[in-house]
Amino acid sequence: MDKFLIKRPRSGESSNACKAPLGSESSEKNAHANFDLDDIISDPGLRKPIEDFDIRIRDQVRRKYLTRGPCQPAGHNFPQKEYGKQRRSFRDAWFKQHPWLEYSVTKDAVFCFWCYLFKPNRVSQIGEDAFTKTGFNNWKKALEKFIEHVGAVNSAHNDARVQFQSFQNQRQSVSHQLAAHSHEMEVAYRIRLTAILDVTRFLLKQGLAFRGHDESSSSLNKGNFLELLEWYSLRNEEVWRTVNQNATGNNQMTSPKVQKELANACAAEITRVIVDDIGDNYFSLLIDEARDISVKEQMGVILRYVNKDGYVIERFLAMVHVPDTSAISLKNAVDCLFSKHKLSLSRLRGQGYDGASNMRGEFNGLKALILKENLYARYVHCFAHQLQLVIVVIAKDNRIVSDFFQYVTMIVNVTRASCKRKDQLRQHHHDRLVEQLEKEEIVSGRGKNQESSLARPGDTRWGSHYTTILRLISMWTSVLEVLQNVHDDGASNDNRGIAASLIEKMENYQFIFIMYLMSHLLRITNELSLALQQKDQNIVQAMRLIEAVKARLQGLRETRWEEFMEEVIDLIAQEIQNHFPEASTELLLLMSYHDPRDSFSKFNIQKLLRLAELNPEDFSMTECMMLEDQLATFIYDVQHDEDFTNIRDLGDFARKMVETEKCFIFPLVYRLLELALVLPVATASVERVFSAMNIVKTDFRNKMGDEWMNDSLVVYIEREVFGNIDNETILQRFQKMQTRRMQLPPLNRMPRVFNTRTGVGSISSVPR
């Protein structure tokens, strides 16, 4: 049973469980008029009754629920109940037939969304409470009871429907009727709001701050938002006529609250597109945690899935603040996030984390907690992290190699210890390049012989050891000259002694030998590291790359080099074997039989049938029997189809199946392929999210709230998705967030000069 509709704990509360359901005795006693977003719970079985909210905030609560929509977890594995000899469960199709239906995962029952929000305050009819408070779950009589609940034209349900539709359409509200705004004012409102949205979109896409230190009218720098809006208005006469001093005083739409609501609308539309793209397909979860600039623990969440065109997609879902990084806190955060976006844990088929104990712990880690609820959410330790551990172990376990990297670190630290030394190093390197160019020892060209500096190696920075060695080799002479200057100009005996020791070490044959040996060995692992960080990498291809690295290392081992070299190579090969146990597990080995290379030479029907048997949640006994026939027909078909002749990896394989529509002809084969593709390979996408977080939330923006930061990151990271969402969709979501003073007029009532694509008038001359 999914537990993805549990309430999110507030800051400072225990993270062992989300808050008790509102509507309990303690919460009812504390009902007040202050609106709290934590009171909005997606699961209808855990909600506080609408009548228990203070009447002064009831419409605000309704508006928030209306924005979220009914809880309809598509693709959820609904549990079956026995009715004599029959077994029945809730059906997905009922959501389409009855849009008012909501499903509670915790209670395995359905509720009426319209009646919850607008049930008339009169004597309850028979069965009404079942759809608003207790829940209905007699699936044998479901269709009959649904019709009975809807009732006649004057039923309580239909009264609630009318109120729901009226509330949804703000233009028909009583307050709007009384205000009777003129059409011209509404047109001006749309132009003004659209221009403000354009400014918001630009700032979010660039990851820029909105607010200024001084936003008063006399300020010379009002901040990015107001300055860009003014710049925009000076170049568009239609906008200039409706913003700033030309707008009504109580409807200028430039307040921080409006900015944040627009950003939230943008982010919400992006996540909606992502979740809709996933649909009821399988997906995997990639998670990592890091601290932001204000020293708050943040959890980045990425979803990996195969889209309708057969492409492997990794999308950023959210950045969630967690009170601590314990496994239970991370699990609660995942539950609440899935609840918010109506994702079903039962569709999860993979987990990808680093090797921290709170993540992969056998008994109490996040991996174990999810596996308790879904046995088929296969865990894959991030391959890129494992590869990094290989490099770290090599650098520490072999004394000679360890001493080498310690001296390299000292060389980097001494040459970078001051601005003077950095400038000397750059100048020496520049002069050396000029000299080599004049002697035609090297050639010039775009991207060649660029200015560079020494990079400090670090255990947690992928490829840093390899980069450091390459830089040291390329700047060898310049580094020696700087160290010699430190020795000659040293203000203390310690500096002179350290510089002399490093010069002596660099001129030692063993040091140079190890440097070139390690550069050659790490080049092999660095190629694998870069490949593993690709978003569309799949598990079979990753295993192939690892085997290729092992083969290359074995080739070096068998060249009969000296004993020391054999020792180092053996260490690397052994560590790669130790840190990639997944490459030998039955599940991943079975997936390799899907490999399309060499005309599907590894294709094995019995092995692939065994893979289906390991996933009984996705392949019933009947489907396993059908799969054998499909596989036999499929392999004959593709081996004689020219379209599949040059397929090299699983990604191309899946896309070609969609392109040729074989995914519909052989649906069970494609399902097997999808399970292989959806498994995560590396958490590089999450690491990139944290890099974006450091761009968006800086020292100057360290007080940025969690929701504001999340909305900014969603837009900044998923700019590709954002670019395909038009202004009108965002404006409509923004308009429904709460009751507005003005209403958006339909686009068909806008003047012809108005651009319906961008939402503003055509650019005119700069107004005077």
Element (H, E) at 408: helix 399-415
Residue 378 CB burial class (10 angstroms; 0-12, 13-18, ≥19): buried
Helix (H, G, I), strand (E, B) or coil at 163: helix
pLDDT at 83: 85
Decide if 171 contacts 743 (C-beta within 8 A). Answer: yes
Max intra-chain CA distance, the chain: 98
Tell me how far CA of residue 232 lies from CA of 9, 224, 260, 364, 572, in angstroms: 42, 12, 20, 54, 59
Give the span between the Cα atoms of 90 and 135, in whole angstroms: 13
The residue assigned the tokens 């779950």 is 137
Residue 155 CB burial class (10 angstroms; 0-12, 13-18, ≥19): middle
Quick one: tokens of 62? Answer: 């309704």
Quick one: tokens of 511? Answer: 């040091």
Give the span between the Cα atoms of 298 and 13, in whole angstroms: 17
Q: Residue 736: CA atoms inside 13 Å, Cβ hemisphere, count?
A: 22
The residue assigned the tokens 């649906």 is 667
Task: Characterise 72 by phi-psi region: left (phi > 0), alpha (psi -120 to 50), beta (else).
Answer: beta
Strands 109-112 and 283-291: unpaired
Strand partners of residue 288: 300
Angle at which helices 539-557 and 509-532 pack, to 10 degrees?
Answer: 160
**Sequence-ordered strand ranges (E) for 160-227:** none
Backbone angles phi, psi at 317, to 5 degrees: -100, -50
Q: Which amino acid is at 147?
A: I
Tell me how far CA of residue 559 lies from CA of 539, 550, 563, in angstroms: 31, 15, 11
Other Cβ atoms closer than 10 A to 25: 8
pTM listed for this prediction? 0.71
Decide if 343 contacts 272 (C-beta within 8 A). Answer: no
Rounded to 5°, the CA angle 208-211-217 comes to 130
Q: Which residues make Cβ contacts (< 8 Å) with residue 405, sequence separation at least 6?
A: 395, 457, 465
Helix (H, G, I), strand (E, B) or coil at 353: strand
Residue 614 CB burial class (10 angstroms; 0-12, 13-18, ≥19): middle
Centroid of chain to Cα 759: 30
Decide if 464 contacts 457 (C-beta within 8 A). Answer: yes
Annotate 72-136 with three-state secondary structure: CCCCCCCCCEEECCEEECCCCHHHHHCCCEEEECCCCEEEEHHHHHHCCCCCCCCCCHHHCCCCE
Residues in the chain, pLDDT under 70: 1-33, 121-128, 170-181, 355-364, 384-385, 388-389, 391-392, 394-396, 440-452, 457-463, 490-493, 535-539, 557, 559-567, 569-572, 574-586, 588, 748-768
Question: Tens digit of pLDDT for each residue in 341-390?
Answer: 888 888 999 888 876 656 655 556 888 889 888 888 888 777 766 776 67
